[in-house]
């Protein structure tokens, strides 16, 4: 007899719990992917000032930089929104995920770094 069955839980309940845990982990991995994409957009946007520093007209380089950093921030916001929705759904079923506070702090820090980078290269 398995541990779950000896504790009075059916195999179906155990499998549901495992599925919820897998869903929580998948949600965290998905947010990490959104974060990597956002970081890539921000990094390429900031690197554009070094790669294309002689680009004329100068405003075009600024539009490219601000556009890519802005896109990165939007991607991060979308990823946070998506994670927030799935985390709340999982919390209702009793599954715990990484705290929204930590995920939000990461998102704000990354977005803040992008904005500071734009200000520094402007």
> Do the Cβ atoms of 25 and 90 come closer than 8 Å?
no
Number of domains the chain contains: 1
Q: Which domain holds residue 47?
A: 3-121
Burial of 38 (0-12, 13-18, 19+ CB in 10 A): buried
**The two structure tokens encoding residue 69:** 């950093």
> Which residues, 6+ apart, have CB-to-CB distance to 101 below 8 Å?
none
Along the 122 residues of the chain, how does pLDDT read in single tens digits? 455 555 667 877 777 777 888 888 898 899 999 999 999 999 999 898 888 888 888 888 889 999 999 999 999 999 999 999 988 888 887 777 788 899 889 889 998 988 898 888 77
What is the value of pTM for the model shown?
0.77
Q: Return d(Cα 88, Cα 21) in angstroms, integer.
A: 14
């Amino acid at each position: 007899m398995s541990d779950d069955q000896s504790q009075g839980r059916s195999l179906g309940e155990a499998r549901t719990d495992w599925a919820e845990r897998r869903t929580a982990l998948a949600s965290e991995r998905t947010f990490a992917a959104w974060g990597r994409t956002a970081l890539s957009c921000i990094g390429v946007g900031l690197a554009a000032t070094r790669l294309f520093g002689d680009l004329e007209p100068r405003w075009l380089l600024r539009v490219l930089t601000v556009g890519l950093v802005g896109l990165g921030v939007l991607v991060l916001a979308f990823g946070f929104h998506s994670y927030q929705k799935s985390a709340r759904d999982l919390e209702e079923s009793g599954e715990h995920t990484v705290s929204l506070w930590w995920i939000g702090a990461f998102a704000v820090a990354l977005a803040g770094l992008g904005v500071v980078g734009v200000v520094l290269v402007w």
